[in-house]
């Protein structure tokens, strides 16, 4: 390598190091117009994600079920109509000798009956009011369950989005390492060609460059897989390409105490558990209502017609019938089954209470783990940011020493590996801090932000 080429290379390398030190891991990248923001990804998911669409349809079912008729307040009215035709061959002989025998074929008769009946339960031990409360609670539970689905999906999308940023940052770090390996290879080749370097150093530089190239290619594949995973959550074409932001910004203004109180007050899993407890209590009331008498109002109207072509007896007739009344029914004895069902419902209510307490304990434990991960990750981010700056400075020094012959290629390679390792640790720390932040917001019921179902 000529002195002019070496000088030009050294200037280019120094510019890279200076930019890296000044801007760190947040060098802005100019993307095409297909840049996908996290907010846009969440908006697409709320519209197209299959799990969310299914949960919204189930809400519609719960809304349709929550009606006065389904609760038992409205009467039931049944209408029916029937028409019968007969064709007969009559053969009749009489004891009375004065009456001639009858032998007639093709005797067509028809009759019809139609009617309307009404059954209206006006008292069932207040069971219909319990049923209405239960339907309303089921509708609320359906909405809560849909919110759980939405919040989990939004958290998954956020994690998948930052996974892409993480993999992109690793691609960029490996790309930078590959550029340095390429410059080292060119320098080793020049030293070997002019006789100032050994062939072993040249071959080692080739091997290291090939290894860095393989790592870069594998990381590119990992990045593409991460995009495929996000596209699947957004119900889009798996191969649809897009760009994302190249930075991970973790909030440092989170109030842990406020989030803990929010978890206890509005975590959808905990809210859903409380709704299941109330449903279990309503089941007890519904079964207890069956111990009281049931009073039904009955009414109806029916008419029948007949048309007889036999030639004797009644030729045509019609009968109109009005009916009304009341019916009282009570379960006197059913083998103690009703009492057994009430006892089981009370036991189930206790089970649901224990499940609610267990869910609360599990959520608080998960919250404390996320808090610990969040705080530790923030500390690691600060530490690895300092380490990365030092490592990048060390790369510049090591390369300069290698260029002037004061350092071996092995020593420079170790410095390069340490730099890649420091950058990787910084990327992982930022990613873990963001995951912990997302989990804290999800557990506290705040991952949707201002969005509401």
Residue 235 belongs to some domain of the structure: no
Least confident of 58-67, 252-261, 362-371, 399-408: 399-408
| Total number of domains constituting the chain | 2
When pLDDT is averaged across residues 127-134 and rounded to a whole number, the result is 97
Tell me the CATH number at 313.
2.20.200
Same domain, 413 and 309: no
- Residues 306 and 351 placed together within one structural domain of the fold: no
Confidence at 229, pLDDT banded by 50, 70, 90: very high
Does pLDDT of 195 surpass 80? yes
Q: Read off the pLDDT of each residue in 237-261 and give the average, rounded to a whole number.
A: 91
Assigned domain for 49 exists: yes
Whether 145 is covered by a domain: the verdict is yes
- Residues 433, 393, single domain; the answer is yes
In a domain, 190, yes or no: no
Residues 138 and 253 in one domain: yes
Phi, psi of 439 (to 5 degrees): -65, -40
Identify the sign of the CA torsion 204, 208, 211, 217.
negative
Is the confidence at residue 234, as pLDDT, over 50?
Answer: yes
Does residue 234 belong to any structural domain of this protein? no
What's the confidence (pLDDT) of residue 308? 74
The last residue of one of the domains, among 329, 345, 380, is 329
Q: How confident is residue 314, by pLDDT bands cut at 50, 70 and 90?
A: low
Give 110's pLDDT tier (boundaries 50, 70, 90). Answer: confident
The pLDDT of 360-370, averaged and rounded, is 97
- pLDDT at site 370: 96
Q: Are residues 115 and 254 in the same domain?
A: no
Whether residues 390 and 412 fall in one domain: yes
pLDDT tens-digit map of 261-272: 999 999 999 999
Looking at the structure, do residues 151 and 59 belong to the same domain, yes or no?
Answer: yes
> Which residues, in sequence order, are bridge partners of residue 111?
84, 306
180 in any annotated domain: no
Strands in 102-123's sheet, in edge-to-edge order, are 76-92, 102-123, 294-307, 316-329
Judged by average pLDDT, the poorest of 78-92, 93-107, 404-418 is 93-107
SS3 string, 349-394, reads HHHHHHHHHHHHHHHHHHHHHHHHHHHHHHHHHHHHHHHHHHHHHH
- Taken in order 198, 201, 204, 210, the sign of the CA dihedral is negative
Give me the mean pLDDT over the 188-204 stretch. Answer: 88
| Average pLDDT rounded to a whole number, residues 417-433 | 95
H or E, element range at 181? helix 127-194
Based on the fold, state whether residues 36 and 157 are members of the same structural domain: yes
CA pair distance 318, 87, nearest whole angstrom:
20
Same domain, 311 and 428: no
Q: What is the pLDDT of residue 33?
A: 52
Residues 287 and 413 in one domain: yes
Looking at the domain assignment, is residue 80 inside a domain? yes
Residue 13 has pLDDT above 80, yes or no: no
Q: Is the pTM of this model over 0.95?
A: no
Q: What pLDDT score does 316 carry?
A: 77
User: Could you tell me how many helices (H) and strands (E) the chain has, helices first?
Assistant: 10, 4
Question: In terms of domains, do 356 and 405 share one?
Answer: yes
Q: Please give the Cα distance from 101 to 90 (Å, whole number).
A: 10
User: Does residue 447 or residue 153 have the better pLDDT?
Assistant: 153
What's residue 207's pLDDT?
Answer: 95
Q: DSSP E strands: which ranges in 251-363?
A: 294-307, 316-329
Is pLDDT of 309 > 70?
A: no
Q: Which domain holds residue 306?
A: 75-123+295-329
Shortest CA distance to 438 belongs to which of 372, 374, 359?
374
CA distances from 220 to 16, 175, 248 (A): 22, 10, 19
**How does the average pLDDT of the chain come out, rounded?**
88
Would you say residue 283 has pLDDT above 80? yes
16-20, 57-61, 201-205, 271-275: least confident range: 16-20
> Angle at which helices 268-289 and 256-266 pack, to 10 degrees?
20
Three-state DSSP state, 102: strand
24-69, pLDDT tens digit by residue? 333 334 344 589 999 999 999 999 999 999 999 999 999 999 999 9
Higher pLDDT pick, 448 / 113: 113
Amino acid 348: pLDDT: 97
Kindly state whether residues 117 and 132 are assigned to the same domain.
Answer: no
Residue 256: pLDDT over 50: yes
pLDDT of amino acid 173? 95
The CATH number of whichever domain residue 376 belongs to comes to 1.20.1600.10
How far, in Å, CA of 304 to CA of 405, rounded?
117
HSE-up (13 A, CA, CB side) for residue 53: 10
Domain assignment of residue 28, yes or no = yes
Say which residue, 109 or 275, is predicted with more confidence.
275
Q: How far apart are CA 440 and CA 445, in angstroms?
A: 9
pLDDT in tens, 324-350: 999 999 999 999 999 999 999 999 999
pLDDT exceeds cutoff 70 at 257: yes
């Amino acid at each position: 390598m000529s002195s002019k080429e070496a000088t030009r290379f050294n200037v280019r390398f120094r510019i890279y190091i200076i930019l890296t030190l000044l801007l760190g891991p947040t060098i802005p990248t100019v993307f095409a117009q297909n840049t996908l923001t996290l907010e846009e990804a969440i908006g697409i998911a709320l519209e197209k994600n299959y799990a969310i669409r299914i949960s919204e349809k189930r809400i519609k079912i719960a809304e349709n079920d929550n009606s006065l008729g389904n609760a038992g307040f409205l009467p039931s009215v049944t209408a029916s109509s029937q028409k019968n035709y007969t064709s007969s061959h009559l053969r009749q002989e009489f004891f009375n000798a004065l009456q001639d025998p009858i032998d007639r074929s093709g005797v067509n008769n028809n009759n019809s009956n139609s009617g309307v009946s009404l059954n209206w339960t006006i008292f069932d031990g207040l069971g219909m009011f319990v049923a209405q409360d239960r339907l309303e609670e089921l509708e609320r539970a359906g909405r809560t369950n849909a919110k759980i689905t939405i919040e989990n999906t939004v958290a998954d999308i956020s994690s998948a989005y930052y996974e892409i940023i993480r993999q992109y940052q690793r691609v960029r770090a490996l790309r930078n390492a590959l550029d340095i390996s390429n410059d080292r290879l060119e320098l080793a080749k020049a030293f070997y060609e002019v006789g100032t370097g050994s062939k072993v150093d040249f071959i080692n530089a080739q091997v290291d460059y090939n290894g860095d190239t393989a790592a870069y290619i594998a990381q590119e594949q990992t990045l593409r897989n991460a995009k495929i995973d996000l596209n699947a959550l957004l119900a889009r074409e798996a191969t649809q390409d897009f760009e994302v932001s190249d930075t991970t910004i973790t909030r440092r203004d989170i109030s842990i105490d406020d989030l803990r109180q929010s978890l206890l007050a509005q975590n959808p899993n905990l809210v859903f558990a409380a709704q299941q407890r109330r449903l279990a209590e309503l089941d007890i009331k519904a079964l207890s209502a069956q111990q009281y008498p049931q009073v039904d109002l009955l009414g109806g109207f029916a008419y029948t017609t007949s048309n007889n072509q036999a030639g004797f007896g009644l030729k045509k007739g019609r009968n109109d019938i009005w009916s009304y009344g009341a019916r009282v029914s009570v379960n006197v004895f059913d083998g103690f089954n009703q009492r057994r069902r009430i006892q089981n419902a009370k036991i189930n209510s206790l089970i649901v209470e224990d499940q609610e307490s267990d869910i609360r304990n599990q959520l608080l434990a998960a919250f404390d783990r996320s808090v610990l991960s969040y705080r530790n990750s923030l500390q690691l981010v600060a530490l690895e940011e300092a380490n990365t700056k030092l490592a990048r400075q060390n790369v510049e020094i090591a390369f300069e020493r290698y260029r002037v012959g004061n350092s071996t290629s092995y020593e420079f390679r170790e410095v390069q590996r340490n730099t890649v390792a420091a950058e990787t640790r910084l990327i992982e720390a930022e990613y873990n801090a963001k995951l912990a932040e997302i989990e804290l917001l999800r557990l506290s019921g705040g991952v949707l932000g201002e969005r509401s179902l």
